[in-house]
Structure 1
Amino acid sequence: MSLLDLDSRWKRFNDTGRACPCCGETFSGIFDLGYAHPSDWPHAGPDEGGEVVEGEDRLNADLCRHAGRYFLRCVMMIPVQGSDEHFGFGLWAQVSEEVFRNYLGTYDDPPADFRGGNGLLANVLPGFTDEDMVPLVLAPVSGDEATRPLVMAEAGALHEAQTQGISFDRLLDIYAEAGRDIRPHLTQD
Protein backbone atom coordinates (compact mmCIF):
# COMPACT_ATOMS: atom_id res chain seq x y z
CA MET A 1 0.00 0.00 0.00
CA SER A 2 1.26 3.48 -0.85
CA LEU A 3 0.44 6.81 0.74
CA LEU A 4 -1.57 7.69 -2.36
CA ASP A 5 -3.92 4.80 -1.55
CA LEU A 6 -4.81 6.67 1.65
CA ASP A 7 -5.84 9.84 -0.25
CA SER A 8 -9.65 9.90 -0.43
CA ARG A 9 -9.48 12.03 -3.59
CA TRP A 10 -7.41 9.32 -5.32
CA LYS A 11 -9.96 6.71 -4.26
CA ARG A 12 -12.84 8.82 -5.63
CA PHE A 13 -10.88 9.52 -8.83
CA ASN A 14 -10.48 5.79 -9.48
CA ASP A 15 -13.95 4.64 -8.35
CA THR A 16 -16.04 4.13 -11.50
CA GLY A 17 -19.12 3.43 -9.36
CA ARG A 18 -18.99 6.76 -7.51
CA ALA A 19 -21.02 9.68 -8.87
CA CYS A 20 -20.05 13.20 -7.82
CA PRO A 21 -22.72 14.51 -5.40
CA CYS A 22 -22.85 17.94 -7.08
CA CYS A 23 -23.16 16.91 -10.72
CA GLY A 24 -23.31 13.11 -11.03
CA GLU A 25 -20.04 12.89 -13.00
CA THR A 26 -18.04 9.69 -12.64
CA PHE A 27 -14.30 9.15 -12.98
CA SER A 28 -12.24 6.14 -13.97
CA GLY A 29 -8.73 7.28 -13.10
CA ILE A 30 -5.93 8.87 -15.06
CA PHE A 31 -6.76 10.13 -18.53
CA ASP A 32 -4.29 11.40 -21.09
CA LEU A 33 -4.24 14.74 -22.88
CA GLY A 34 -3.64 14.90 -26.61
CA TYR A 35 -3.16 17.49 -29.31
CA ALA A 36 -4.52 17.22 -32.84
CA HIS A 37 -1.69 19.31 -34.31
CA PRO A 38 1.48 21.24 -33.43
CA SER A 39 0.83 24.50 -31.60
CA ASP A 40 1.70 26.72 -34.55
CA TRP A 41 -0.46 24.84 -37.11
CA PRO A 42 -2.48 27.72 -38.66
CA HIS A 43 -5.19 25.70 -40.45
CA ALA A 44 -8.26 23.79 -39.30
CA GLY A 45 -7.73 20.33 -37.89
CA PRO A 46 -8.68 17.19 -39.79
CA ASP A 47 -11.93 15.31 -39.37
CA GLU A 48 -11.63 11.99 -37.53
CA GLY A 49 -9.28 9.84 -39.59
CA GLY A 50 -8.98 12.54 -42.23
CA GLU A 51 -6.26 14.76 -43.60
CA VAL A 52 -5.89 18.50 -44.14
CA VAL A 53 -3.99 19.74 -47.20
CA GLU A 54 -3.39 23.49 -47.53
CA GLY A 55 -0.85 24.22 -50.26
CA GLU A 56 2.38 22.52 -49.15
CA ASP A 57 1.08 22.01 -45.59
CA ARG A 58 -0.35 18.60 -44.66
CA LEU A 59 -1.71 17.15 -41.44
CA ASN A 60 -3.21 13.82 -40.44
CA ALA A 61 -3.42 12.02 -37.10
CA ASP A 62 0.28 11.05 -37.09
CA LEU A 63 2.18 13.26 -39.53
CA CYS A 64 2.47 16.96 -40.23
CA ARG A 65 4.41 19.13 -42.66
CA HIS A 66 4.09 22.86 -42.13
CA ALA A 67 6.17 25.76 -43.48
CA GLY A 68 8.94 23.39 -44.60
CA ARG A 69 9.17 21.71 -41.19
CA TYR A 70 8.30 18.11 -40.28
CA PHE A 71 6.40 16.84 -37.24
CA LEU A 72 5.50 13.45 -35.78
CA ARG A 73 2.78 12.65 -33.27
CA CYS A 74 4.41 11.07 -30.23
CA VAL A 75 3.56 9.96 -26.71
CA MET A 76 5.22 11.26 -23.55
CA MET A 77 4.63 9.22 -20.41
CA ILE A 78 5.02 10.70 -16.92
CA PRO A 79 4.86 8.48 -13.82
CA VAL A 80 2.48 9.46 -11.03
CA GLN A 81 4.27 9.27 -7.68
CA GLY A 82 2.81 6.81 -5.21
CA SER A 83 1.20 4.64 -7.89
CA ASP A 84 2.19 2.27 -10.67
CA GLU A 85 0.36 4.44 -13.20
CA HIS A 86 1.49 6.92 -15.82
CA PHE A 87 -0.08 10.03 -17.28
CA GLY A 88 0.44 10.64 -21.01
CA PHE A 89 0.64 13.57 -23.36
CA GLY A 90 -0.14 12.88 -27.03
CA LEU A 91 2.11 15.61 -28.38
CA TRP A 92 3.95 16.63 -31.53
CA ALA A 93 7.70 16.67 -32.06
CA GLN A 94 9.40 18.72 -34.74
CA VAL A 95 11.93 16.41 -36.41
CA SER A 96 14.38 16.45 -39.28
CA GLU A 97 13.25 15.34 -42.72
CA GLU A 98 15.42 12.21 -42.32
CA VAL A 99 13.67 11.18 -39.08
CA PHE A 100 10.30 11.97 -40.65
CA ARG A 101 11.00 9.82 -43.71
CA ASN A 102 12.30 6.96 -41.56
CA TYR A 103 9.01 7.03 -39.65
CA LEU A 104 7.08 7.07 -42.93
CA GLY A 105 8.75 3.73 -43.67
CA THR A 106 6.81 2.19 -40.79
CA TYR A 107 3.70 2.56 -42.97
CA ASP A 108 5.15 0.40 -45.77
CA ASP A 109 4.16 -3.20 -46.35
CA PRO A 110 6.15 -4.85 -44.87
CA PRO A 111 6.74 -2.08 -42.33
CA ALA A 112 10.27 -0.93 -41.58
CA ASP A 113 11.65 -0.30 -38.11
CA PHE A 114 11.69 3.31 -36.91
CA ARG A 115 15.24 4.04 -35.77
CA GLY A 116 14.18 6.86 -33.48
CA GLY A 117 15.90 10.21 -33.45
CA ASN A 118 15.88 13.68 -31.98
CA GLY A 119 13.22 16.36 -32.06
CA LEU A 120 11.87 19.45 -30.40
CA LEU A 121 8.63 19.80 -28.45
CA ALA A 122 6.03 21.42 -30.73
CA ASN A 123 3.15 21.92 -28.27
CA VAL A 124 2.61 24.15 -25.26
CA LEU A 125 1.76 21.69 -22.47
CA PRO A 126 -0.37 22.60 -19.46
CA GLY A 127 1.70 22.59 -16.31
CA PHE A 128 4.83 23.12 -18.39
CA THR A 129 4.00 26.33 -20.27
CA ASP A 130 7.47 27.77 -19.63
CA GLU A 131 9.01 24.84 -21.54
CA ASP A 132 9.68 26.01 -25.10
CA MET A 133 11.33 23.94 -27.84
CA VAL A 134 12.48 21.29 -25.34
CA PRO A 135 14.87 18.80 -26.95
CA LEU A 136 13.33 15.32 -27.19
CA VAL A 137 14.63 11.84 -27.90
CA LEU A 138 12.23 9.66 -29.91
CA ALA A 139 12.56 5.97 -29.03
CA PRO A 140 12.95 3.36 -31.77
CA VAL A 141 9.81 1.42 -32.73
CA SER A 142 9.73 -2.02 -34.30
CA GLY A 143 7.99 -1.98 -37.69
CA ASP A 144 5.55 -4.68 -36.59
CA GLU A 145 4.33 -2.53 -33.67
CA ALA A 146 1.65 -0.10 -34.86
CA THR A 147 2.46 2.55 -32.31
CA ARG A 148 3.56 6.16 -32.01
CA PRO A 149 7.09 6.88 -30.83
CA LEU A 150 7.64 7.39 -27.14
CA VAL A 151 9.60 10.54 -26.33
CA MET A 152 11.84 11.54 -23.47
CA ALA A 153 12.58 15.18 -22.70
CA GLU A 154 16.29 15.86 -22.46
CA ALA A 155 16.09 18.90 -20.19
CA GLY A 156 13.97 21.09 -17.98
CA ALA A 157 10.87 20.47 -15.91
CA LEU A 158 9.53 17.89 -18.37
CA HIS A 159 12.70 15.81 -18.02
CA GLU A 160 12.44 16.06 -14.23
CA ALA A 161 8.76 15.03 -14.33
CA GLN A 162 9.55 12.00 -16.51
CA THR A 163 12.45 10.84 -14.36
CA GLN A 164 11.05 11.63 -10.91
CA GLY A 165 7.30 11.54 -11.49
CA ILE A 166 4.64 14.04 -10.52
CA SER A 167 2.36 14.14 -7.50
CA PHE A 168 -1.37 13.56 -7.74
CA ASP A 169 -1.87 17.24 -6.87
CA ARG A 170 0.39 18.25 -9.77
CA LEU A 171 -1.61 15.97 -12.10
CA LEU A 172 -4.84 17.65 -10.97
CA ASP A 173 -3.24 21.07 -11.59
CA ILE A 174 -2.28 19.97 -15.12
CA TYR A 175 -5.87 18.89 -15.79
CA ALA A 176 -7.14 22.23 -14.44
CA GLU A 177 -4.75 24.21 -16.64
CA ALA A 178 -5.95 22.16 -19.62
CA GLY A 179 -9.52 23.30 -18.89
CA ARG A 180 -10.68 20.19 -17.03
CA ASP A 181 -10.63 21.16 -13.34
CA ILE A 182 -11.90 18.07 -11.54
CA ARG A 183 -10.55 18.99 -8.09
CA PRO A 184 -13.92 20.19 -6.70
CA HIS A 185 -15.56 16.91 -7.75
CA LEU A 186 -13.12 14.83 -5.70
CA THR A 187 -13.46 16.58 -2.34
CA GLN A 188 -16.82 15.34 -1.11
CA ASP A 189 -18.81 12.12 -0.82
Structure 2
Amino acid sequence: MRDHFICSVCGIRHEGLITDRAYKLPDDVWSIPEAERSQKAKFDSDLCQLGERFFMRCVLRVPFSDCSGAFGWGVWAEVDWPTFERYLDLYEVDGSAEPAHRGLLANEIPGYPQSLGKGVLINFGTASKRPTICLTSEDDSQLAEEQRRGMDHTRHLEIIASIEAAN
Protein backbone atom coordinates (compact mmCIF):
# COMPACT_ATOMS: atom_id res chain seq x y z
CA MET A 1 0.00 0.00 0.00
CA ARG A 2 1.39 3.37 -0.97
CA ASP A 3 1.94 6.14 1.59
CA HIS A 4 0.71 8.79 -0.86
CA PHE A 5 -1.92 9.28 -3.52
CA ILE A 6 -2.73 11.54 -6.45
CA CYS A 7 -6.02 13.32 -5.88
CA SER A 8 -8.62 12.60 -8.58
CA VAL A 9 -10.01 16.13 -8.24
CA CYS A 10 -6.96 18.41 -7.97
CA GLY A 11 -4.34 16.10 -9.53
CA ILE A 12 -1.85 16.86 -6.75
CA ARG A 13 0.17 14.28 -4.81
CA HIS A 14 -0.85 14.05 -1.13
CA GLU A 15 0.94 12.17 1.65
CA GLY A 16 -0.91 9.52 3.66
CA LEU A 17 -3.83 7.27 2.81
CA ILE A 18 -6.83 8.31 0.74
CA THR A 19 -9.62 9.55 3.01
CA ASP A 20 -12.12 10.68 0.42
CA ARG A 21 -13.41 9.89 -3.03
CA ALA A 22 -15.57 12.14 -5.20
CA TYR A 23 -17.80 11.34 -8.15
CA LYS A 24 -18.10 13.95 -10.88
CA LEU A 25 -21.65 12.90 -11.80
CA PRO A 26 -24.38 10.41 -10.93
CA ASP A 27 -23.61 6.99 -12.48
CA ASP A 28 -26.55 7.17 -14.91
CA VAL A 29 -25.31 10.52 -16.25
CA TRP A 30 -21.64 9.46 -16.30
CA SER A 31 -22.58 6.41 -18.41
CA ILE A 32 -23.86 8.65 -21.22
CA PRO A 33 -21.15 8.95 -23.90
CA GLU A 34 -19.17 12.15 -23.32
CA ALA A 35 -20.10 13.62 -26.72
CA GLU A 36 -23.83 13.35 -25.83
CA ARG A 37 -23.72 14.00 -22.07
CA SER A 38 -24.10 17.79 -22.10
CA GLN A 39 -26.92 17.51 -24.65
CA LYS A 40 -28.92 15.07 -22.54
CA ALA A 41 -28.20 16.41 -19.04
CA LYS A 42 -27.69 19.78 -17.39
CA PHE A 43 -25.07 19.73 -14.63
CA ASP A 44 -22.44 21.57 -12.68
CA SER A 45 -20.34 20.50 -9.69
CA ASP A 46 -23.35 20.52 -7.30
CA LEU A 47 -26.56 19.98 -9.29
CA CYS A 48 -27.70 17.75 -12.12
CA GLN A 49 -30.85 17.22 -14.15
CA LEU A 50 -31.39 14.33 -16.54
CA GLY A 51 -34.82 14.71 -18.12
CA GLU A 52 -37.25 14.68 -15.20
CA ARG A 53 -34.67 13.25 -12.78
CA PHE A 54 -32.92 15.52 -10.28
CA PHE A 55 -29.62 15.02 -8.42
CA MET A 56 -27.63 16.87 -5.79
CA ARG A 57 -24.01 16.42 -4.79
CA CYS A 58 -23.63 15.36 -1.16
CA VAL A 59 -21.10 13.90 1.27
CA LEU A 60 -21.51 10.50 2.90
CA ARG A 61 -19.09 10.09 5.81
CA VAL A 62 -17.97 6.78 7.29
CA PRO A 63 -16.12 7.42 10.57
CA PHE A 64 -12.91 5.63 11.49
CA SER A 65 -13.39 3.44 14.57
CA ASP A 66 -9.75 3.28 15.67
CA CYS A 67 -8.62 6.87 15.04
CA SER A 68 -10.12 10.31 14.54
CA GLY A 69 -11.63 11.35 11.24
CA ALA A 70 -13.78 9.77 8.58
CA PHE A 71 -13.75 8.58 5.00
CA GLY A 72 -15.81 11.02 2.93
CA TRP A 73 -17.61 9.86 -0.18
CA GLY A 74 -18.55 12.77 -2.47
CA VAL A 75 -21.62 11.10 -3.95
CA TRP A 76 -24.79 12.15 -5.71
CA ALA A 77 -28.32 11.62 -4.44
CA GLU A 78 -31.35 11.42 -6.68
CA VAL A 79 -34.22 13.42 -5.23
CA ASP A 80 -37.76 14.36 -6.20
CA TRP A 81 -38.57 17.78 -7.63
CA PRO A 82 -39.87 19.32 -4.35
CA THR A 83 -36.60 18.42 -2.57
CA PHE A 84 -34.50 19.71 -5.47
CA GLU A 85 -36.52 22.93 -5.59
CA ARG A 86 -36.17 23.40 -1.81
CA TYR A 87 -32.41 22.90 -2.07
CA LEU A 88 -32.27 25.54 -4.82
CA ASP A 89 -34.21 27.94 -2.55
CA LEU A 90 -31.69 27.39 0.27
CA TYR A 91 -28.55 27.00 -1.86
CA GLU A 92 -26.93 30.29 -0.83
CA VAL A 93 -28.17 30.38 2.78
CA ASP A 94 -28.00 28.21 5.89
CA GLY A 95 -30.32 25.24 5.34
CA SER A 96 -29.13 23.25 8.36
CA ALA A 97 -32.41 23.76 10.25
CA GLU A 98 -34.31 22.11 7.39
CA PRO A 99 -35.71 18.63 8.19
CA ALA A 100 -34.01 15.70 6.44
CA HIS A 101 -35.17 14.87 2.92
CA ARG A 102 -35.33 11.42 1.34
CA GLY A 103 -33.36 10.41 -1.71
CA LEU A 104 -31.57 7.54 -3.41
CA LEU A 105 -27.82 7.03 -3.66
CA ALA A 106 -26.90 7.67 -7.32
CA ASN A 107 -23.39 6.14 -7.31
CA GLU A 108 -22.14 2.58 -6.83
CA ILE A 109 -19.44 2.81 -4.14
CA PRO A 110 -16.38 0.50 -4.39
CA GLY A 111 -16.21 -1.93 -1.49
CA TYR A 112 -19.95 -1.66 -0.89
CA PRO A 113 -21.81 -3.88 -3.38
CA GLN A 114 -25.31 -2.81 -4.35
CA SER A 115 -24.96 0.68 -2.87
CA LEU A 116 -26.51 2.28 -5.97
CA GLY A 117 -30.17 3.05 -5.29
CA LYS A 118 -29.97 2.74 -1.50
CA GLY A 119 -32.43 4.94 0.36
CA VAL A 120 -30.79 7.89 2.12
CA LEU A 121 -31.65 10.83 4.30
CA ILE A 122 -30.20 14.15 3.16
CA ASN A 123 -29.41 16.97 5.57
CA PHE A 124 -28.84 20.37 4.04
CA GLY A 125 -25.98 22.40 5.45
CA THR A 126 -24.73 25.94 5.44
CA ALA A 127 -24.19 27.76 2.15
CA SER A 128 -20.50 26.78 2.23
CA LYS A 129 -21.03 23.04 2.87
CA ARG A 130 -22.53 20.30 0.75
CA PRO A 131 -25.48 18.37 2.16
CA THR A 132 -24.67 15.23 4.12
CA ILE A 133 -26.15 11.77 3.61
CA CYS A 134 -27.07 9.15 6.17
CA LEU A 135 -28.33 5.74 5.23
CA THR A 136 -31.71 4.92 6.71
CA SER A 137 -32.00 3.22 10.11
CA GLU A 138 -33.70 0.17 8.55
CA ASP A 139 -30.76 -0.39 6.17
CA ASP A 140 -28.61 -3.31 7.34
CA SER A 141 -26.03 -3.16 4.53
CA GLN A 142 -22.31 -3.06 5.30
CA LEU A 143 -22.20 0.60 4.25
CA ALA A 144 -25.00 1.53 6.67
CA GLU A 145 -23.45 -0.50 9.49
CA GLU A 146 -20.03 1.08 8.97
CA GLN A 147 -21.57 4.54 8.81
CA ARG A 148 -23.14 3.88 12.22
CA ARG A 149 -20.23 2.12 13.99
CA GLY A 150 -17.19 3.12 11.93
CA MET A 151 -14.51 1.24 9.99
CA ASP A 152 -11.14 0.14 11.31
CA HIS A 153 -7.72 0.53 9.65
CA THR A 154 -7.90 -2.90 7.96
CA ARG A 155 -11.26 -2.04 6.38
CA HIS A 156 -9.89 1.35 5.31
CA LEU A 157 -7.11 -0.45 3.42
CA GLU A 158 -9.72 -2.74 1.81
CA ILE A 159 -11.67 0.32 0.65
CA ILE A 160 -8.51 1.86 -0.84
CA ALA A 161 -7.80 -1.42 -2.69
CA SER A 162 -11.40 -1.42 -4.00
CA ILE A 163 -11.00 2.15 -5.26
CA GLU A 164 -7.70 1.34 -6.97
CA ALA A 165 -9.20 -1.78 -8.56
CA ALA A 166 -12.13 0.28 -9.91
CA ASN A 167 -9.81 2.76 -11.65
Fold agreement, TM-score > 0.5: yes
Q: Which moved more, 1:165-174 or 1:118-127?
A: 165-174
Amino acid in the other structure paired with 1:66: L
Deviation at 1:30, TM superposition (A): 4.3
Q: Is the 8 A contact 1:118 1:135 kept in 2?
A: yes
Moved over 3 A (4+): none
2:155 paired residue number: 170
Deviation at 1:43, TM superposition (A): 4.5
Q: What SS class does the counterpart of residue 179 from structure 1 fall into?
A: helix
Question: Which structure shows the bigger proportion of residues in strand conformation?
Answer: 2
Deviation at 1:71, TM superposition (A): 0.4
Change (3 A) 1:131 1:26: closer
1:97 paired residue number: 81
Query: TM-score, normalising length from structure 1?
Result: 0.70
Instruction: Give 1:1-189 correspondences, 5 Å limit.
Output: 13=3, 27-41=15-29, 42-44=32-34, 53-55=38-40, 57-108=41-92, 111=93, 113=95, 115=98, 116-142=100-126, 145-154=127-136, 155=139, 156-179=141-164
Q: What SS class does the counterpart of residue 178 from structure 1 fall into?
A: helix
What is the RMSD computed on CA atoms of the aligned residues?
2.6
Q: Which moved more, 1:97-106 or 1:111-120?
A: 111-120
Deviation at 1:172, TM superposition (A): 1.2
What is the rounded CA distance, in whole Å, between the counterparts of 1:164 and 1:80 in structure 2? 8
Give the count of matched residue pairs.
Answer: 150
User: Equivalent pairs: percent with the same residue?
Assistant: 28
Change (3 A) 1:112 1:86: closer
Q: Is the 8 A contact 1:105 1:112 kept in 2?
A: no
Q: Is the 8 A contact 2:3 2:15 kept in 1?
A: yes
- Any idea what the Cα deviations from partners look like across 1:29-70, whole Å, max 9, x if unmatched? 44200100001111539xxxxxx7414x21110001113110
What is the rounded CA distance, in whole Å, between the counterparts of 2:39 and 2:50 in structure 1? 9
Q: What SS class does the counterpart of residue 75 from structure 2 fall into?
A: strand
Change (3 A) 1:83 1:30: farther
Query: TM-score, normalising length from structure 2?
Result: 0.78
Q: Is the 8 A contact 2:109 2:116 kept in 1?
A: no
Q: Is the 8 A contact 1:131 1:157 kept in 2?
A: no
Highest Rg: 1 or 2? 1
What is the rounded CA distance, in whole Å, between the counterparts of 1:132 and 1:180 in structure 2? 18
Deviation at 1:180, TM superposition (A): 6.6
Amino acid in the other structure paired with 1:40: D
Deviation at 1:161, TM superposition (A): 0.9
Amino acid in the other structure paired with 1:35: Y
Deviation at 1:27, TM superposition (A): 2.5
